[in-house]
Amino acid sequence: MNAEIIAVGTELLLGQIANTNGQYLSKQLTHHGVNIYRHTVVGDNLQRIRQAIRTAAKHNDIVILTGGLGPTEDDVTRNALAEEYDLKLVHEARALEHVEAFFQARGQTASDANRRQALHVEGSEVLQNHVGLACGMVYKHENTWFILLPGPPRELEGMFEKEVRPLLSAANQSHEFLLSRTLKFYGIGESALEARLHDLIVHQGNPTIAPLAGQDEVSLRLTVKDTDRAHAESKLDTLEEAINERCGEFLYGYDEDTLVSKALDRLRGRGWRVASAESVTGGWLSASLTDVAGASDVFAGGVIAYRDETKQKQLNVKPATLQTDGAVSEACAREMAAGVRRTYHSEVGISLTGVAGPDDQEGHPPGTLFIGISSPDVTQVYARHLQGDRATIRRRAAKEACACLLEVGGER
């Protein structure tokens, strides 16, 4: 089953908002096994909407139009559908009641403009709006189902959930469903990963393999279509094994896992707490570790040691170290990690010192990074060189620190 999503709204073409309705509907329809053929965005223009409807009807079983159902003159989506197929617009009794009750409850009277929101094309089935006033509708022309939904995301999502989803479930008679599993990798780039998996990607069928490049990470989404859940799971398992053979050393988790959540889980598993001492990242690592609710059982606390003075006073870094090795050094990272571990009486101390740029510091170029880890098992400093501008280096440094924490907590 193919579907096209047509979003109507000049504000989209002006770039005032992104087409998040298109994203939401794509996710939902994909989940129901519907193949999304295309997204189209057109302005509040009757002829353009009609043209989009005409083109979409040629290729699709379902055409969803979003937006243009409001009360104003330039809300013309329903008119476009009506004119295209020579239909009348009529008031729907229940929707009209809904509009009139809304204004009555506020001691007002619905205007003609407001009452337009209860218009639907004759022969269509009305979709109730549980959040706002504009009614939606489903209309079948030849072999194509047209679904008209309101533009405001809350109204659209509410109507989709309560009115459209049941229709889709009922229409899916093949009992085929899609099952997905996302594999998450860190420490390998998108093209290097794809090179290792080249044969699997080229010869993919069912399941499919979709590489997704995220920020500093790569994911692979495996998707299988089947009618039996156990069978589907086992197909995914087989494919995952083949992928693991080629690049399992970079796999750190699945689906909703993040480097942070995995690092915290590992530490929690060992009953360890961690304290952070940040120079170059200025709080990014601590902020990342505490993004996850319930981090307080693992995260002991932190020091932002942006200046040498702080490194000495709060973390007991030796003045001699700062003088001979400098603040951006392996020795300083080691002492910072040990220092913060003592300060917070935690099992693990982690430190970051380096250069975020744009300028060199102590003769080191931007991207220079030392991550110190002090734990009951080991005290170690990881030297890294990161690419990117200031913001990227800081973000990547915090991520790299999480990856180091993951190793400290145990084997990947």
- Which residues, 324 to 363, sit near a second copy by CB under 8 A? 343-344, 356-359
CA distances from 90 to 12, 79, 159, 196 (A): 29, 11, 20, 60
Residue 195 found at the interface with a second copy (CB under 8 A): yes
Contacting residue, 1, 28, 200, 364, with a second copy by CB under 8 A:
28
Give the shortest CB-336-to-a second copy separation in angstroms: 13
Burial (CB count <10 Å: 0-12, 13-18, 19+), residue 32: middle
Residue 40 found at the interface with a second copy (CB under 8 A): yes
Task: Give me the numbers of helices (H) and strands (E) for the chain, helices first please.
Answer: 17, 17
Residue 278 found at the interface with a second copy (CB under 8 A): yes
Cβ proximity of 242 and 222 under 8 Å: no
> Could you give phi then psi for residue 148, rounded to 5 degrees?
-105, 125
CA distances from 135 to 105, 224, 260 (A): 19, 36, 44
Is the CB of 121 or the CB of 285 nearer to a second copy?
Answer: 285
Residue 19 found at the interface with a second copy (CB under 8 A): yes
Cβ proximity of 227 and 173 under 8 Å: no
> Which 228-257 positions form the footprint of a second copy (CB under 8 A)?
none
Give the shortest CB-125-to-a second copy separation in angstroms: 25
Contacting residue, 94, 140, 307, 410, with a second copy by CB under 8 A:
307
Residue 152 found at the interface with a second copy (CB under 8 A): yes
Residue 107 found at the interface with a second copy (CB under 8 A): no
The three-class DSSP label of residue 231 is helix
Is the CB of 29 or the CB of 124 nearer to a second copy?
Answer: 29
| Cα separation, 86 vs 150, whole angstroms | 22
Residue 379 Cα to chain centre, angstroms: 36
Contacting residue, 47, 104, 191, 234, with a second copy by CB under 8 A:
191
Residue 34 found at the interface with a second copy (CB under 8 A): no
Is the CB of 91 or the CB of 283 nearer to a second copy?
Answer: 283
Written as one string, the DSSP assignment of 286-309 is: HHHHTTSTTGGGTEEEEEE--SHH
Is the CB of 329 or the CB of 346 nearer to a second copy?
Answer: 346
Taking residue 20's Cβ as centre, other Cβ atoms within 10 Å add up to 12
Cβ proximity of 150 and 129 under 8 Å: yes
Taking residue 98's Cβ as centre, other Cβ atoms within 10 Å add up to 18
Residue 101 found at the interface with a second copy (CB under 8 A): no
Give the shortest CB-306-to-a second copy separation in angstroms: 5
Is the CB of 256 or the CB of 411 nearer to a second copy?
Answer: 256
Is the CB of 139 or the CB of 303 nearer to a second copy?
Answer: 303
Give the shortest CB-75-to-a second copy separation in angstroms: 10
Residue 16 found at the interface with a second copy (CB under 8 A): yes
> Could you give phi then psi for residue 296, rounded to 5 degrees?
-70, -20
Give the shortest CB-263-to-a second copy separation in angstroms: 15
**Beta strand pairing call for 379-385 and 368-374:** antiparallel
Of 108-116, 136-144, 161-169, 236-244, which segment contacts a second copy by CB under 8 A? 108-116
Interhelix angle 259-270/390-408, nearest 10 degrees: 30
Contacting residue, 93, 101, 113, 242, with a second copy by CB under 8 A:
113
Of 66-74, 137-145, 245-253, 329-337, which segment contacts a second copy by CB under 8 A? 66-74
Is the CB of 124 or the CB of 329 nearer to a second copy?
Answer: 329
Is the CB of 136 or the CB of 151 nearer to a second copy?
Answer: 151
94's CB contacts (< 8 A; 6+ apart) are: 126, 128
> Which 171-190 positions form the footprint of a second copy (CB under 8 A)?
190
Tell me how many residues contact a second copy (CB under 8 A): 86
Contacting residue, 1, 33, 46, 71, with a second copy by CB under 8 A:
71
Helices (H), 251-344: 259-270, 284-289, 308-315, 319-324, 330-343
Interhelix angle 330-343/308-315, nearest 10 degrees: 40
Is the CB of 67 or the CB of 372 nearer to a second copy?
Answer: 67
Of 16-24, 237-245, 248-256, 331-339, which segment contacts a second copy by CB under 8 A? 16-24
